Amino acid sequence: MMATIRVGLLGYGGLGQAAARMLAVKKQMILVAAADSKGYAYHPEGLDAARLSLAVSRHGSVGYDPAVGVPADAPIQALLEQQVPADGYFLALPNLPNTFMASVARTFITSGWRGVLVDAIKRTSAVEQLLTLAPDLQRAGITYVTGCGATPGLLTAAAALAAQSFSEVLSVQITFGVGIANWEAYRSTVREDIAHLEGYSVERARAMSDAQVSELLDRTGGLLTLEKMEHADDILLELAGICGRERVSVGGVVDTRNPQKPLSTNVRVTGRTFEGKTSTHTFTLGDETSMAANVCGPALGYLKAGIEMHRRGHHGIWSSAELMPRFVG
């Protein structure tokens, strides 16, 4: 029986808070540390997710939780200096700027901490930066699993599995539907989506005020329709040897005013069999599963798989297309 896994969360926005709520119902994991852009909190016996959320909504940071929070200018570094006994961290961080995830990984590498890191990263270019850190991660005794959300993540892994029936994979098409009742609960995520729109860039989206985002959403009736997105599913499937990245496409529709999904999220893998037949396998997510469930569930599942790798002494970087996530009870 595996001992309880002590988990830290970096980022305490919509995703981080959802992960904390999920951790609260897991027997095999406890939340021992959290940090956001303004502070951190930790407790080796377990943090109270609800109280941390209260501190965020009232004061803007987990660092302002009166009992366990500490405001800090460089919260991740400050947290790591406390030598919290966390087995792994879920980097539920904004994907912007694009260099952020790799810079956080570097902070872990230089800190001397050893354990497992998982991210729910989105962009291909951000994964490329992480991959250059592979030797450093290995030397540092860190097991990093990248692309562990829904896409990349759950759907990438489903594509890697579906590929098994084929001699050659001709295309992988990921189409997601996301419905959120209120975009302001996912400020960073929505800006990341906007950055994928024609005429927008990561920088431009990030610089938008809340009023400007609202105005844009008013013009589109709350819908963001995204095509040919730069999504790391492509590089992860290429690295896993499944197909060239140009055969992978990601698009979708985000409804920012309706928790119901505008379409069922799915991945379609088309390939040619050894008998010369062309066919398509499809993996479709139930509409009633939220983005939070489809991102945080896999992230914790890969974290558990990463812990097994780490305990076996395997350090470096892997992806969601290479490991089978473990179910976290």
* Binding footprint of a copy of itself on the chain (CB under 8 A): 18, 21-22, 25-26, 154, 157-158, 160-167, 169, 240-242, 270, 273-275, 277-290, 292-294, 296-298, 301, 312, 314, 321-327, 329
Residue 69 CB, nearest distance to a copy of itself (Å)? 24
Residue 131 is labelled as binding a ligand: no
Look up residue 50 and give its two tokens: 């609800």
**Closer residue to a copy of itself, CB minimum distance, 60 or 286:** 286
**Phi and psi for 258 in degrees, rounded to 5?**
-155, 120
- Contact status, residue 307 vs residue 5, Cβ threshold 8 Å: yes
Residue 11 is labelled as binding a ligand: yes
Cβ neighbour number for residue 56 with a 10 Å cutoff: 23
**Closer residue to a copy of itself, CB minimum distance, 44 or 244:** 244
The Cα–Cα gap between 168 and 274 comes to: 8
Q: Active-site residues: which are they?
A: 122, 192, 196
- Contact status, residue 160 vs residue 321, Cβ threshold 8 Å: yes
**Closer residue to a copy of itself, CB minimum distance, 112 or 327:** 327
Cβ neighbour number for residue 88 with a 10 Å cutoff: 23
Rg of the chain in Å (alpha carbons): 19
* Cβ-based neighbours of 287, under 8 Å, separated by 6 or more: 177, 260, 261, 264
Residue 125 CB, nearest distance to a copy of itself (Å)? 24
**Closer residue to a copy of itself, CB minimum distance, 206 or 281:** 281
Q: Which residue has the tokens 């030797």?
A: 135
Residue 281 CB, nearest distance to a copy of itself (Å)? 5
Residue 72 CB, nearest distance to a copy of itself (Å)? 29
Helix, strand, coil content of the chain in percent (nearest 5): 40, 25, 35
- Contact status, residue 300 vs residue 9, Cβ threshold 8 Å: no
Residue 13 is labelled as binding a ligand: yes
Residue 189 is labelled as binding a ligand: yes
**Closer residue to a copy of itself, CB minimum distance, 105 or 158:** 158
Residue 225 CB, nearest distance to a copy of itself (Å)? 24
> Which of 178, 141, 174 lies closest to 158 in space, CA to CA?
174
Residue 188 is labelled as binding a ligand: yes
Q: Which residue has the tokens 């939780």?
A: 65
Binding site residue list for NAD(+): 11-15, 188-189
